[in-house]
Every structure is written in structure tokens, then in C-alpha cells.
């Protein structure tokens, strides 16, 4: 498959800004697929997709597209081992604005991002009274701690 990656990024960018919520959801879902199946694509392409999705998450006001966007970011952390240099702190700053289950998605993303500086964003949720939030925070915290301590 011969695809102009810059053009594809432009299409993604435009799609995430569409008025119609279903279109934003579709684009986010497509981006998740590119993370999962685009293993041979350059790291910079995936980094730009992640940055674009994070920026889209920060301005999204509809929960359904936001869930699709967070799922796409999660796919990036799961399938691509995205760089710890991505602006993960923006997700951390965004956590207090999220309701369950989106909050759990955000915490999970930080757990998988391989950036030990994100521990500070997860720690406040370790004693959260909501069981699912606390469980995800514990899981994310353990993942981050294991990755920072090494073998």
C-alpha cells in the first residue's frame, strides 16, 4: 500500500474537527486501526497521530467522540509503545474533568505510556472511593512502577 502519510495526517486532522460527532468517532476509530495495523509506518507518523488525538481530546465536548479518541490513544500505547516524550501530561491535567468510565481510560493510557513522570497524575486515584477508578489506578501505577524499576 502506497499512502502519502502527510496527506493522511491532514485527513485525520480535518476529520477530528468535523461538526458531525459520528464523523469524529469514525476518524478516531480509523486512527486506532492505523496504530494497530500500521506497524511498518515511521514512528514519527504515530507520534503525530498521538499528539493530534491528545489535542482533540482536550477540546472534545461530546462523550462518545471523546471515548473513541481515548480508545485510539490507548491503541497507540498498546500497539505502538509510543514515545514517552509525547505530551502525556496533557492527559494527566485532563483527568479531573473526566467522568467514569472515561476517567479509567485516561488513567490506563497514562499507565501504558512508559513515562514515569506520569505517576504523579495517577497517585491521587489510588484511594478513590469508586472501585473501578481505584482498580485502574492501581493497575496503571503498577505498570508504571515496573517499567521504571527495570528487570
Task: Render 63-77 in DSSP notation, one character per residue.
Answer: HHHHHHHHHHHHHHH
pLDDT value at 58 more than 90: yes
Check residue 92 and give left, alpha or beta (phi > 0: left; psi -120 to 50: alpha).
alpha
Query: For residue 146, what pLDDT is reported?
Result: 79
Same domain for 3 and 76, yes or no, is yes
Same domain for 47 and 117, yes or no, is no
- For cell 515496573, the residue is 146
Same domain for 110 and 129, yes or no, is yes
Among the candidates 83, 109, 132, a domain finishes at: 83
The whole-angstrom separation of Cα 93 and Cα 131 is: 21
Same domain for 74 and 127, yes or no, is no
Question: pLDDT over 70 for what percent of the chain?
Answer: 93
Same domain for 12 and 75, yes or no, is yes
Domain boundaries, position 119: 88-151
Task: Read off the pLDDT of residues 59-112 as tens digits, 9 standing for 90 and up.
Answer: 999 999 999 999 999 988 877 667 667 889 999 999 999 999 999 999 999 998
Query: For residue 31, what pLDDT is reported?
Result: 96
Grid coordinates of 124: 491521587
Query: For residue 22, what pLDDT is reported?
Result: 97
For the chain, the residue count is 151
Q: Are 49 and 11 in contact (CB under 8 A)?
A: no
Same domain for 99 and 44, yes or no, is no
Same domain for 55 and 97, yes or no, is no
pLDDT value at 119 more than 70: yes
Tell me the average pLDDT across 44-65: 94
How does 89-102 read in b/e, with b if 16+ C-beta sit within 10 Å?
Answer: eebbebbeebeeeb
The whole-angstrom separation of Cα 58 and Cα 140 is: 21
Among the candidates 41, 59, 83, a domain finishes at: 83
Q: Are 70 and 105 in contact (CB under 8 A)?
A: yes
Q: pLDDT-derived band of residue 122, with 50, 70 and 90 as boundaries? A: very high
Same domain for 117 and 130, yes or no, is yes
Same domain for 12 and 74, yes or no, is yes
Same domain for 72 and 121, yes or no, is no
The whole-angstrom separation of Cα 147 and Cα 129 is: 26
Same domain for 60 and 105, yes or no, is no
What's the domain count of the chain?
A: 2
Higher pLDDT, 149 or 20: 20
Higher pLDDT, 39 or 18: 18
Among the candidates 83, 116, 132, a domain finishes at: 83
Amino acid at each position: 500500500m502506497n499512502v502519502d502519510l502527510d496527506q493522511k495526517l491532514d485527513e485525520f486532522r480535518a476529520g477530528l474537527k468535523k461538526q458531525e460527532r459520528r464523523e469524529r468517532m469514525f476518524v478516531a476509530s480509523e486512527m486506532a486501526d492505523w496504530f494497530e495495523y500500521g506497524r511498518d509506518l515511521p514512528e514519527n507518523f504515530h507520534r503525530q497521530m498521538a499528539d493530534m488525538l491528545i489535542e482533540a481530546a482536550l477540546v472534545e465536548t461530546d462523550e462518545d467522540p471523546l471515548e473513541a479518541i481515548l480508545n485510539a490513544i490507548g491503541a497507540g500505547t498498546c500497539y505502538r509503545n509510543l514515545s514517552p516524550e509525547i505530551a502525556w501530561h496533557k492527559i494527566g491535567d485532563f483527568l479531573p474533568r473526566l467522568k467514569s468510565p472515561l476517567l479509567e481510560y485516561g488513567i490506563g493510557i497514562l499507565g501504558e505510556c512508559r513515562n514515569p513522570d506520569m505517576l504523579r497524575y495517577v497517585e491521587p486515584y489510588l484511594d478513590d472511593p469508586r472501585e473501578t477508578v481505584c482498580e485502574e489506578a492501581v493497575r496503571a501505577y503498577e505498570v508504571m512502577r515496573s517499567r521504571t524499576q527495570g528487570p
